[in-house]
């Protein structure tokens, strides 16, 4: 029997696994932090090591978010406070990895993965918003910021038909959203300056 108090620790350690860094190194691409934007997320992995590595990073980063919350639900018997704690902890682990001297990614994929078992409808809506913004404006960072900013409202509206989410979940979702946006502060500066790299769409 796993004690419930270990849930945040387990979630944090899962989030701390730097899949993007490991995938690029295993593919012979060196340290992804020394190339492109320096981020360990799927977008920079794609730029450095190609689309297959990027997709694999995306799936694994989202998967660890999902697994952390799924485990919290199993261990706690569905207690929303522990589930919420796991969602926050896994995102913090990804952003401030103990293996990377408390540096890490921006938390988009891990955050969305963590919220799939909490509100799949909200994640689907956020993903659709991400796609629309990325296709029309061609900025991955802008799409991520828009999806993160919309997530608290989407969770509130789509958590359950006719029911608002528990207050602890709403507060935590706002916190996660702010963290993700804060992690994109350099991207926002480049967007304002007009120097942010655009997504290249091939016909």
Given a cut of 60, is residue 62 above it in pLDDT?
yes
Average pLDDT in the 119-138 region? 97
Q: What is the pLDDT of residue 160?
A: 86
Residue 202 confidence class, pLDDT cut points 50, 70, 90: low
Task: Write the pLDDT tens digit of every residue in 90-101.
Answer: 999 999 999 999
Given a cut of 70, is residue 201 above it in pLDDT?
no
Q: Check: CB of residue 110 under 8 Å from CB of residue 94.
A: yes
Q: What is the pLDDT of residue 203?
A: 45
Q: What is the pLDDT of residue 170?
A: 97
| pTM score | 0.95
Residue whose tokens read 């350690």: 13
Q: How far is CA 58 from CA 39, 93, 165, in A?
A: 13, 16, 27
Task: Write the pLDDT tens digit of every residue in 34-60.
Answer: 988 889 999 999 989 999 999 999 999
Residue boundaries of the structural domains of the chain: 4-193
Task: Write the pLDDT tens digit of every residue in 153-178.
Answer: 999 999 987 888 999 999 999 999 99
Residue 20 confidence class, pLDDT cut points 50, 70, 90: very high
What is the distance between the alpha carbons of residues 19 and 113, in angstroms, rounded to a whole number? 14
Residue count (the chain): 203
What is the distance between the alpha carbons of residues 137 and 144, in angstroms, rounded to a whole number? 12
Question: Please, what is the average pLDDT of the chain?
Answer: 95
What is the distance between the alpha carbons of residues 203 and 183, in angstroms, rounded to a whole number? 31
């Amino acid at each position: 029997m796993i004690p419930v108090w270990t849930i945040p620790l387990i979630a944090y350690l899962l989030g701390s696994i730097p899949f993007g860094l490991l995938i690029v190194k295993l593919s012979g691409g060196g340290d992804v932090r020394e190339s492109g934007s320096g981020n360990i997320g799927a977008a920079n992995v794609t730029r450095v090591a190609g689309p297959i590595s990027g997709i694999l990073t995306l799936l694994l980063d989202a998967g660890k978010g999902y697994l952390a919350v799924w485990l919290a639900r199993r261990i706690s018997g569905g207690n929303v406070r522990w589930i919420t704690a796991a969602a926050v902890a896994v995102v913090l682990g990804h952003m401030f990895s103990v293996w990377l001297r408390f540096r890490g990614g921006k938390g988009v994929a891990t955050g969305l993965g963590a919220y799939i078992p909490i509100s799949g409808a909200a994640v689907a809506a956020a993903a659709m918003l991400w796609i629309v913004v990325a296709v029309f404006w061609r900025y991955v960072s802008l799409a991520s910021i828009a999806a993160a900013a919309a997530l608290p409202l989407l969770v509130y509206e789509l958590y359950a038909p006719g029911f608002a989410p528990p207050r602890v979940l709403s507060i935590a979702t706002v916190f996660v959203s702010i963290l993700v946006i804060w992690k994109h502060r350099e991207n926002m500066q480049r967007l304002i300056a007009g120097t942010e790299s655009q997504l290249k769409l091939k016909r």
